[in-house]
């Protein structure tokens, strides 16, 4: 164990003999080879019972028995023999204080024993939670990766907090007050650390990456699965390292003191934030937003299965997530793992457009509204409504002419006729677009933080309904600082919100909202060049030909 980088070893087989005072109970990596020599008949019977107990724990050594054990101080010795195959290390715990419980997790006919060893200081929480947390983690982790291959998984009470992992055995911290009460957070931190340290069996004990170079490959992947397992443990579980939004405070910090996730753990100033939290949040962003749960879970499982009992490097993880899902994630690895840019995408503006169909009444109203729009708001005009009691024209009727009396919105028969002719020039498709009544919203985005992300947009309509659109991050592929996109709806939009579900770790959500202007702008439908219509050269040639023919006839 060498600081933040912990340790990395290849796989080996162990046969270990431990000679200890005969009142000690020993828990260790591997299968106990001589239970008849070191356990009482009753302990062996209880252990046998635990093999079939999938719902509840079975005490192998009770609290009363442990208290009794502690008093004896035996002079005799016993030798415990453990055999472990395909493990990257061996660890054990030995004490006369140990209470010991166990329960079974079944994989078909195969039984894995979840176990805990703890002193009476750990109760009541350890007896209630430790082994059940291990069993829970075995099931959840196996579902997301591969079936837990070892015969047992042990949680040992070793400290007041924190934990350290070894194959099949992890040392965990967390004890209640001497009076047996405990704060709520102790419950979650204990269950959390037990899940986490057990989880290291998968990363890096089996998917054996080099922690000393890439702490994120085990801490990050494990913290991510820990988060998933915690959510399945209780809906009340403190959501610490996992949610995208939990990274905001760290990621908007001073870049001078920030390293990329890829930094080696003993150099990195923020191992906790990078290797654990940012990696876990990044995987959640991939799962919830970029890849989707189904594809992500499949690719993640392929990675775990492809690299179990092997030594993957970061490229193996990146490549597997891409080739198993068929999604190009290079931009994400570069931004999230190799860089320190944060996410801050802003909605810079929204322009609302409707089509000016050219229908005379509508066209005139639009024209008039446009003319008056600025004047109506102008301060001088507002004041003059009151201040000018009577204009010259109002005073002197002889100044009034045709234009003062004529309703500017009145449509002439010629205008009706022109509109009819215009409609005849349009294709059926164009007519459909013209009359569909769509509202077009041109939304402008800028990438302030540097890290690109998909655009998740919630449109709130004036009728109170909502719609969410998801645009993949590839929208940034040509211009990664500023982009625009047009959205069309039959309903009128009131408000647009970017990242409404807080899934992209956007550090500033104040610039994510936009209230749409009160009145739309109008545009005329572009006249498309229609196929089959003759071009100008053809028309001129045709005219020339006709002229020639005319001459010949003469
Ligand atoms: Zn860890």
Please write the tens of the pLDDT for every residue from 209-268. Answer: 999 999 999 999 999 999 999 999 999 998 788 999 999 999 999 999 999 999 999 888
User: Tokens 């239970």 belong to which residue?
Assistant: 35
pLDDT of residue 90: 97
Query: Are the CB atoms for 439 and 488 separated by under 8 Å?
Result: yes
pLDDT of residue 410: 84
Please write the tens of the pLDDT for every residue from 282-340. Answer: 999 999 999 999 999 999 999 999 999 999 999 999 999 999 999 999 999 999 999 99
Query: Are the CB atoms for 20 and 93 separated by under 8 Å?
Result: no
- Parse the chain into domains and list their residue ranges: 1-186+194-206, 207-340, 343-554
Q: What is the mean pLDDT of residues 533-539?
A: 68
Q: Which of helix, strand or coil describes residue 217?
A: helix
Reported as a pLDDT band with limits 50, 70 and 90, residue 489 is very high
Please write the tens of the pLDDT for every residue from 264-284. Answer: 998 888 999 999 999 999 999
Q: What is the ipTM of this complex?
A: 0.94
Query: Are the CB atoms for 217 and 208 separated by under 8 Å?
Result: no
pLDDT of residue 10: 92
Tokens linked to 477:
């592929």
Reported as a pLDDT band with limits 50, 70 and 90, residue 447 is very high
Q: What is the mean pLDDT of residues 391-417?
A: 88
pLDDT of residue 528: 43
Alpha-carbon distance 307 to 315, whole Å?
12
On the question of pLDDT at 527 being above 70, the answer is no
If you measure from the C-alpha of residue 302 to the centroid of ligand 1, how many angstroms do you get, rounded to a whole number? 22
Any bridge partners for residue 507, and if so which?
none
If you measure from the C-alpha of residue 172 to the centroid of ligand 1, how many angstroms do you get, rounded to a whole number? 11
pLDDT of residue 40: 96
Alpha-carbon distance 99 to 77, whole Å?
19
On the question of pLDDT at 1 being above 70, the answer is no
User: Tokens 């194959």 belong to which residue?
Assistant: 167
Domain 207-340 matching CATH 1.25.40.80: the answer reads no
Please write the tens of the pLDDT for every residue from 76-99. Answer: 999 999 999 999 999 999 999 999
If you measure from the C-alpha of residue 28 to the centroid of ligand 1, how many angstroms do you get, rounded to a whole number? 19
Alpha-carbon distance 230 to 140, whole Å?
10
| DSSP H helices in 7-99 | 35-38, 41-50, 63-72
If you measure from the C-alpha of residue 237 to the centroid of ligand 1, how many angstroms do you get, rounded to a whole number? 18
Query: Are the CB atoms for 154 and 168 separated by under 8 Å?
Result: yes
If you measure from the C-alpha of residue 436 to the centroid of ligand 1, how many angstroms do you get, rounded to a whole number? 58
Instruction: Identify the H or E element spanning 295.
Output: helix 293-307
If you measure from the C-alpha of residue 197 to the centroid of ligand 1, how many angstroms do you get, rounded to a whole number? 6
Q: What are phi and psi of 258, to 5 degrees?
A: -120, 135
If you measure from the C-alpha of residue 34 to the centroid of ligand 1, how many angstroms do you get, rounded to a whole number? 32
Q: What is the mean pLDDT of residues 525-544?
A: 65
* Average pLDDT value over all residues in the chain: 93
CA distance between the termini of the chain? 109
pLDDT of residue 529: 45
pLDDT of residue 526: 59
On the question of pLDDT at 533 being above 60, the answer is no
If you measure from the C-alpha of residue 310 to the centroid of ligand 1, how many angstroms do you get, rounded to a whole number? 19
Higher pLDDT, 74 or 64: 64
Q: What are phi and psi of 250, to 5 degrees?
A: -65, -45
Burial readout 222-240 (b: 16 or more C-beta within 10 A, e: otherwise): bbbbbbbbbeebeeebeeb
If you measure from the C-alpha of residue 159 to the centroid of ligand 1, how many angstroms do you get, rounded to a whole number? 15
Q: What is the mean pLDDT of residues 463-472?
A: 98
**Which residues fall within 8 angstroms of residue 311, CB to CB, at 6 or more apart?**
10, 208, 209, 210
If you measure from the C-alpha of residue 103 to the centroid of ligand 1, how many angstroms do you get, rounded to a whole number? 24
Q: What are phi and psi of 354, to 5 degrees?
A: -130, 165
Altogether, the residues listed in the chain come to a count of 554
Q: Which of these, 489, 485, 88, 544, lies nearest to 311 by C-alpha position? A: 88
């Amino acid at each position: 164990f060498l600081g933040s980088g912990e340790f990395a070893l290849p796989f080996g087989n162990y046969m270990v003999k431990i000679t200890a005072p005969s009142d000690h109970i020993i828990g260790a990596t591997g299968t106990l080879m001589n239970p008849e020599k070191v356990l009482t008949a009753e302990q062996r019977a209880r252990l046998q019972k635990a093999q079939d107990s999938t719902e509840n724990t079975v005490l192998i050594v009770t609290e009363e028995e442990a208290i009794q054990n502690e008093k004896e101080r035996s002079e005799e010795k016993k030798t415990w023999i453990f055999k472990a195959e395909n493990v990257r290390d061996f660890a054990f715990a030995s004490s006369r204080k140990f209470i010991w419980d166990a329960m079974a997790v079944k994989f078909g006919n195969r039984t894995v024993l979840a176990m805990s060893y703890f002193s009476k200081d750990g109760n009541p929480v350890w007896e209630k939670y430790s082994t059940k947390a291990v069993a829970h983690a075995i099931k959840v982790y196996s579902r997301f990766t591969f079936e837990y291959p070892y015969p047992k998984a042990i949680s040992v009470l070793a400290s007041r907090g924190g934990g350290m992992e070894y194959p099949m055995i992890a040392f965990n911290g967390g004890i209640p007050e001497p009076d047996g009460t405990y704060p709520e957070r102790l419950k979650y931190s204990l269950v959390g650390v037990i899940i986490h340290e057990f989880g290291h069996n998968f990363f890096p004990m089996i998917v054996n990456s080099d922690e000393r170079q890439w702490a994120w490959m085990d801490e990050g992947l494990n913290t991510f699965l820990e988060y998933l397992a915690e959510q399945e443990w209780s809906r009340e579980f403190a959501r610490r390292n996992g949610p995208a939004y939990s990274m905001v405070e760290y990621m908007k910090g001073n870049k001078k003191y920030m390293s990329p996730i890829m930094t080696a753990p003993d150099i990195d100033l923020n191992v906790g934030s990078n290797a654990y939290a940012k990696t876990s949040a990044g995987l959640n962003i991939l799962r919830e937003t970029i890849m989707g749960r189904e594809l992500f879970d499949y690719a993640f499982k392929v990675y775990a299965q492809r690299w179990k009992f092997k030594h993957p490097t970061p490229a193996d993880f990146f490549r597997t997530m891409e080739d198993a899902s068929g999604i190009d994630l290079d931009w994400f690895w570069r931004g999230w793992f190799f860089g320190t840019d944060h996410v801050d995408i802003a909605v810079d503006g929204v322009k609302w457009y409707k089509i000016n169909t050219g229908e005379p009444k509508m066209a005139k109203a639009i024209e008039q509204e446009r003319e008056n729009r600025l004047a109506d708001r102008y301060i001088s005009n507002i004041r003059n409504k009151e201040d000018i009691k009577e204009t010259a024209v109002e005073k002197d009727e002889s100044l009034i002419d045709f234009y003062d009396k004529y309703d500017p919105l009145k449509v002439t028969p010629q205008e009706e006729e022109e509109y009819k002719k215009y409609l005849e020039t349009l294709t059926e498709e164009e007519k459909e677009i013209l009359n569909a009544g769509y509202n077009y919203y041109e939304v402008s985005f800028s990438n302030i933080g540097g890290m690109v992300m998909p655009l998740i947009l919630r449109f709130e309509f004036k009728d109170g309904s909502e719609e969410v659109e998801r645009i993949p991050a590839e929208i940034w592929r040509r211009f990664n600082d500023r982009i625009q996109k047009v959205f069309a709806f039959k309903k009128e939009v009131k408000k647009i919100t970017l990242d409404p579900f807080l899934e992209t770790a956007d550090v500033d959500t104040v610039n994510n909202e936009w209230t749409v202007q009160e009145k739309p702008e109008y545009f005329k439908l572009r006249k498309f060049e229609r196929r089959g219509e003759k071009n100008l050269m053809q028309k001129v040639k045709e005219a020339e030909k006709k002229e020639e023919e005319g001459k010949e006839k003469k």
